[in-house]
């Protein structure tokens, strides 16, 4: 038996879950999504992901045809149907089926689907030794044009940056904002440690306000590690004691080299390791239980 996918209100076999070629999610990237994880039978930060999804949809004027609670229950039902204890969940809402024009008024019913599957992480080596990233030429979207706080299906800005990272021989790209300040990576937020303080760019620089980012800031607070949201240049990154990325899929990934400069001691630092440990603990004990 294959995976069950939640598709417009029903759990169907993955092989039966088909989106129309007239769906504006496909034709125009007109839709929103969330990547969520479950650990140990607990969905991590489900309410926060649902809140962000509803906010993204609200800005795009896509009316999600379920209440927040119904959506949460649909995620839980999908996980139960697939008997996965540790899963990666992809929750997608598109504008729905329309005609070949852009006009969203032609799309009468949003498409909703939820996939619960396994997750592919960065190689384990990265978590032990740290990763190398490079700054890429493609800047993060100008917030006035397309605000990165909207987690939309239109990821070409990030995909171009990812291509540039891969062309440069590394896994991940550092994206600056259009003014040259540090923004984020293609699917992860970025933090540094400087003089013992944890620093990350503020949302107004033009980033997705990551849920892992928020969680790490809270964990740092509990560990009495000072936290600041502050604009940063590449110079600030090069001269940091530690650097790491955060994201639902990546969790906390140490960075030890940026554009050829060694960061700190060139291996995952002690604040990073402490936060990785605290994060691992909280993911195993907090969340919405489904099995």
Interacting residue ranges for ligand PMP, rule: CB under 6 A: 35, 158, 184, 187-189, 208, 210-213, 246-249
| Residue 289 CB-density burial (10 A; 0-12 exposed, 13-18 middle, 19+ buried) | exposed
Smallest separation, CB 127 to ligand PMP (Å) = 16
Smallest separation, CB 189 to ligand PMP (Å) = 5
Give the separation between CA 15 and CA 169, rounded to whole angstroms.
Answer: 35
Give the separation between CA 206 and CA 138, rounded to whole angstroms.
Answer: 14
Residue in the structure block whose two tokens are 């909207």: 150
Copy the structure tokens of residue 158: 């990030």
Determine which helix (DSSP H) or strand (DSSP E) holds 211, and give its type and residue range. helix 211-222
Smallest separation, CB 12 to ligand PMP (Å) = 26
Report which residue's Cβ sits closest to ligand PMP.
210
Q: Of the two residues 172 and 184, which places its CB atom closer to ligand PMP in the complex?
A: 184
Give the separation between CA 116 and CA 136, rounded to whole angstroms.
Answer: 32
Smallest separation, CB 210 to ligand PMP (Å) = 3
Q: Of the two residues 247 and 269, which places its CB atom closer to ligand PMP in the complex?
A: 247
Q: Are 29 and 17 in contact (CB under 8 A)?
A: no
Question: Rounded to 5 degrees, what are φ and ψ at 50?
Answer: -65, -40
Give the separation between CA 184 and CA 207, rounded to whole angstroms.
Answer: 6
Q: Of the two residues 23 and 251, which places its CB atom closer to ligand PMP in the complex?
A: 251
Q: Of the two residues 211 and 217, which places its CB atom closer to ligand PMP in the complex?
A: 211
Angle formed by the axes of helices 211-222 and 46-59, to 10°?
140
Q: Of the two residues 65 and 202, which places its CB atom closer to ligand PMP in the complex?
A: 202
Q: Of the two residues 12 and 119, which places its CB atom closer to ligand PMP in the complex?
A: 119
Determine which helix (DSSP H) or strand (DSSP E) holds 94, and give its type and residue range. strand 87-94
Give the separation between CA 23 and CA 16, rounded to whole angstroms.
Answer: 16
Of 201, 226, 221, 227, give the one whose Cα is nearest residue 282: 221
Smallest separation, CB 214 to ligand PMP (Å) = 8
Active site residues: 151
Q: Are 199 and 232 in contact (CB under 8 A)?
A: yes
Smallest separation, CB 154 to ligand PMP (Å) = 11
Copy the structure tokens of residue 29: 């990237």
């Amino acid at each position: 038996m294959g995976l069950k996918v939640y598709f417009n209100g029903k759990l169907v076999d993955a092989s039966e879950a088909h989106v129309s070629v007239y769906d504006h999610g496909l034709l125009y990237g007109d839709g929103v999504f969330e990547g969520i994880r479950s650990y140990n039978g607990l969905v991590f930060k489900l309410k926060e992901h649902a809140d962000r999804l509803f906010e993204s949809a609200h800005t795009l004027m896509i009316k999600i045809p379920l209440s927040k609670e119904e959506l949460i229950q649909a995620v839980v039902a999908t996980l139960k149907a697939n008997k996965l204890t540790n899963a990666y969940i992809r929750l997608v809402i598109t504008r729905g089926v329309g005609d070949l024009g852009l006009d969203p008024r032609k799309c009468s019913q949003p498409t909703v689907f939820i996939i619960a599957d396994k997750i592919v992480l960065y190689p384990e080596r990265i978590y032990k030794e740290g990763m190398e990233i490079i700054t890429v030429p493609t800047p993060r979207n100008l917030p006035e044009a397309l605000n990165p706080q909207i987690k939309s299906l239109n990821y070409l800005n990030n995909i171009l940056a990812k291509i540039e990272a891969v062309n440069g021989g590394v896994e991940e790209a550092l994206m600056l904002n259009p003014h040259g300040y540090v923004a984020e990576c293609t699917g992860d937020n970025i933090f540094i440690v400087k003089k013992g303080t944890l620093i990350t760019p503020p949302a107004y620089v033009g980033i997705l306000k990551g849920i892992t980012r928020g969680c790490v800031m809270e964990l740092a607070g509990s560990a009495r590690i000072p936290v600041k949201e502050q604009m940063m240049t590449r110079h600030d990154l090069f001269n940091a004691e530690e650097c790491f990325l955060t994201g639902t899929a990546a969790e906390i990934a140490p960075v030890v080299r940026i554009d050829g400069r060694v960061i700190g001691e060139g291996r995952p630092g002690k604040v990073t390791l402490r936060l990785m440990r605290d994060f691992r603990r909280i993911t195993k004990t907090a969340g919405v239980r489904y099995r």
